[in-house]
Amino acid sequence: MGNYSYITNRTLQNGRGEEKGRIAIRVKTGSATAEYNYTCPECGDSHSGQQEFRRPIMVKCQRCGFLMKLPKLKDELKKEKKKLRATA
């Protein structure tokens, strides 16, 4: 990852479960600050900013207040696998 200790780029779902948004987060090595860029899945507004890096990562849309939560990717994958098993 080079100069970054954490990088993620994910698709986001709105309140109706539609994948309409996107978020990219980067944390430079040795820093406790996360830089983010997002397109809100609810209102479509795009914004960039910085905040303290903590997990789970949560970013609130500056325009509509929609809360974008990003759990650890491995936890998200476990949840999806469990959901697939339940429907099979």
The C-alpha atoms of residue 48 and residue 70 are separated, in whole angstroms, by 16
pLDDT tens sequence across 19-45:
999 999 999 999 999 999 999 999 999
pLDDT tens sequence across 48-84:
999 999 989 999 999 999 999 988 777 777 877 887 8
Q: pTM above the 0.85 mark?
A: no
The C-alpha atoms of residue 77 and residue 7 are separated, in whole angstroms, by 17
Query: For residue 51, which amino acid is it?
Result: Q
Backbone angles phi, psi at 33, to 5 degrees: -110, 130
**Tell me, what's the pLDDT at 2?**
76
The C-alpha atoms of residue 88 and residue 20 are separated, in whole angstroms, by 27
Q: What are the boundaries of each domain within the chain?
A: 4-87
Structure tokens at 47: 């914004």
**Tell me, what's the pLDDT at 66?**
97
Structure tokens at 81: 């696998």
